[in-house]
C-alpha cells in the first residue's frame, strides 16, 4: 500500500492549537483534524534540555487521547522551546516577558528544539529536532514594533521564524527550518512511514 493511501485511511489528530503546525501538516498533504485540551506544561527540572519539549509533547498527546477517549487514531503532539545557553524560553505571557526574551536573543545564536510524540494504539514514538538560529541585533523600536504588531504570546522565545523577525533579522540557520516553525516535518513523515511499515 502506498503511503498516501495508508495515511488517508487513518484518522490523524493534531493535539496542538498552533496554526503553524496545522499549516505544515497541510503542506505535507496529510489529512488531519485538530483536538486540544488544557495541559499542564510544567516539567521536572531534572530533565535534560532536549527531553523537556518531548515530555510536554507527550503530555499534550496523552491528554487529548484521554479526554476524547480516542482509539485507533494517530495522535501527534508537539512542543517547541528556545534555549539560549542555560536560559529556557517557552511562550511569553505578556509584552514585558516577550521584550525580555527578544532582548536576550538579540545579536546571539540560540537553539530551537521541537519535541514530538506520536501515539497510535499501544505505540509511542518520541523524538526531538534542534536547529541553530543566529539573530541580528534588535533595537528598542524594532522589538516594540514586533511585539505590538504580531502579539507573539503563543510562540516559544517570543518570535516566529516566518514573520517579520524571520524575514528581517535572522541571518543564519543550521538544521530544519520547519522545526523552527514548530514541527520537524521530515522526521514526522519518517515516523508515520514507520508506523505504516509496522502495521
Q: What does the pLDDT read at residue 104?
A: 98
pTM of the model: 0.94
Q: What does the pLDDT read at residue 49?
A: 87
d(C-alpha 9, C-alpha 196), whole Å? 11
Q: What does the pLDDT read at residue 153?
A: 95
DSSP characters for 81-111?
A: EEEETTEEE---SSHHHHHHHHHHHTTSEEE
What separation in angstroms does the CA of 193 have from each of 6, 30, 70, 76, 107?
Answer: 9, 12, 21, 14, 39
- For cell 485540551, name the residue: 37
CB atoms near residue 194 (< 10 Å): 13
Q: What does the pLDDT read at residue 198?
A: 83
What is the chain's pLDDT, residue by residue, as a tens digit (199 residues)?
A: 799 899 888 899 999 999 999 999 999 999 999 999 988 878 888 888 889 999 999 999 999 999 999 999 999 999 999 999 989 999 999 999 999 999 999 999 999 999 999 999 999 999 999 999 999 999 999 999 999 999 999 999 999 999 999 999 999 999 999 999 999 999 999 999 999 888 6
144 in Cβ contact with 108 (< 8 Å): no
- For cell 505590538, name the residue: 148
Q: What does the pLDDT read at residue 77?
A: 98
- Is 44 one of the catalytic residues? no
Long-range contacts formed by 160-163: CB under 8 A, 24+ apart: 160/20, 161/133, 162/20
Q: What does the pLDDT read at residue 1?
A: 73
Q: What does the pLDDT read at residue 42?
A: 81
57 in Cβ contact with 39 (< 8 Å): no
Query: Measuring CA to CA, which residue among 137, 186, 182 is closest to residue 160?
Result: 182
Q: Which of 29, 38, 40, 79 is catalytic?
A: 79
d(C-alpha 17, C-alpha 171), whole Å? 28
Could you give the 3-state DSSP secondary structure of residue 51?
Answer: helix
Structural domains in the chain, CATH included, are: 3-198 (3.90.950.10)
Strand boundaries in the chain, DSSP class E? 12-14, 33-34, 74-84, 87-89, 109-120, 123-135, 170-174
d(C-alpha 98, C-alpha 118), whole Å? 30
Q: What does the pLDDT read at residue 71?
A: 92
Amino acid at each position: 500500500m502506498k503511503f498516501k493511501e495508508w495515511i488517508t485511511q487513518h484518522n490523524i489528530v493534531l493535539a496542538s492549537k498552533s496554526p503553524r503546525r496545522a499549516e505544515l501538516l497541510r503542506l505535507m498533504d496529510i489529512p488531519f483534524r485538530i483536538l486540544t485540551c488544557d495541559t499542564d506544561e510544567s516539567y521536572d527540572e531534572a530533565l535534560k534540555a532536549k527531553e523537556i519539549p518531548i515530555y510536554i509533547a507527550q503530555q499534550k498527546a496523552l491528554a487529548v487521547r484521554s479526554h476524547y477517549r480516542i482509539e485507533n487514531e494517530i495522535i501527534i503532539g508537539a512542543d517547541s522551546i528556545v534555549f539560549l545557553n542555560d536560559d529556557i524560553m517557552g511562550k511569553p505571557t505578556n509584552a514585558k516577558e516577550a521584550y525580555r526574551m527578544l532582548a536576550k536573543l538579540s545579536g546571539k545564536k540560540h537553539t530551537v528544539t521541537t519535541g514530538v510524540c506520536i501515539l497510535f494504539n499501544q505505540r509511542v514514538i518520541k523524538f526531538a529536532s534542534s536547529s541553530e538560529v543566529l539573530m541580528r541585533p534588535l533595537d528598542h523600536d524594532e522589538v516594540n514594533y514586533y511585539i505590538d504588531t504580531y502579539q507573539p504570546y503563543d510562540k516559544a522565545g517570543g518570535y516566529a521564524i516566518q514573520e517579520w523577525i524571520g524575514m528581517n533579522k535572522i541571518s543564519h540557520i543550521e538544521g530544519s527550518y520547519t522545526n523552527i516553525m514548530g514541527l520537524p516535518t521530515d522526521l514526522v513523515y519518517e515516523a508515520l512511514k514507520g508506523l505504516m511499515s509496522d502495521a
